[in-house]
Amino acid sequence: MQTYDIAKRFHIITGGPGSGKSSVIDALAEEGVSHMPEAGRAIIQDQVEIGGDALPWVDRVAFANLMLAWEMRSYREASALRGPVIFDRGIPDVIGYLRLCGLSVPRFMIRAAEIRRYAKRVFIAPHWPEIFTQDAERKQTLAEAQATHEAMTEVYTELGYELVPLPLMSIADRVNFIRGHVCM
């Protein structure tokens, strides 16, 4: 299958932390929609478990490299699935993360974003302070969450994606909104 054909089936939901992305993806998954989980949270859990340093508060470059590897693998795994696949973030999010941290973006990461394309319309969960919470993996402040949203907006736009903001509504309404934009 051509990358273009695959890209039409791959739908990203991005945005800042604590904006409700994962809750919407979990609801879609419960309805049987194929999905790829977020890299960051799982990497943090794994690194903490093994005593690793590839953590956003220890070694941001190592963390970004693991996120890219995860996203590349998710893309490959999703290629074997039928129908639409929802991604909890994508390769461009790694670029946004590095920029947000004030770190340089290696050429290979830009190349990855250029050759591993997703559907042209990318859903972005707006900054939503009323539902924002912190936890063991999400240590960002409210201001950092807003900055992350802005960084993702910038990167996805630069890469030629059309951003579709998720409405600030219930999970069920957000699911219906996504279903209205994606043939499932």
* CATH code of residue 21: 3.40.50.300
Residues of the chain falling short of pLDDT 50: 1-2, 4
Range of the domain at 78: 3-181
- Give the mean pLDDT of the chain: 89
pLDDT at position 184: 64
Q: What is the pLDDT of residues 135-151, one digit of tens each?
A: 555 556 767 777 888 99
pLDDT at position 140: 65
Q: Which of 174, 165, 151 is nearest to 122 (CA)?
A: 165
Q: What is the pLDDT of residues 18-33, one digit of tens each?
A: 788 888 999 999 999 9
Alpha-carbon distance 158 to 65, whole Å? 21
CA-CA-CA-CA torsion sign (8, 38, 89, 12):
positive
Using alpha carbons, list the distances in angstroms from residue 12 to 53, 106, 111, 139, 164. Answer: 28, 22, 18, 23, 10
pLDDT at position 1: 42
Do the Cβ atoms of 10 and 119 come closer than 8 Å?
A: yes
Which regions of 42-104 does DSSP assign to beta strands (E)? 85-88
How many domains is the chain built from? 1
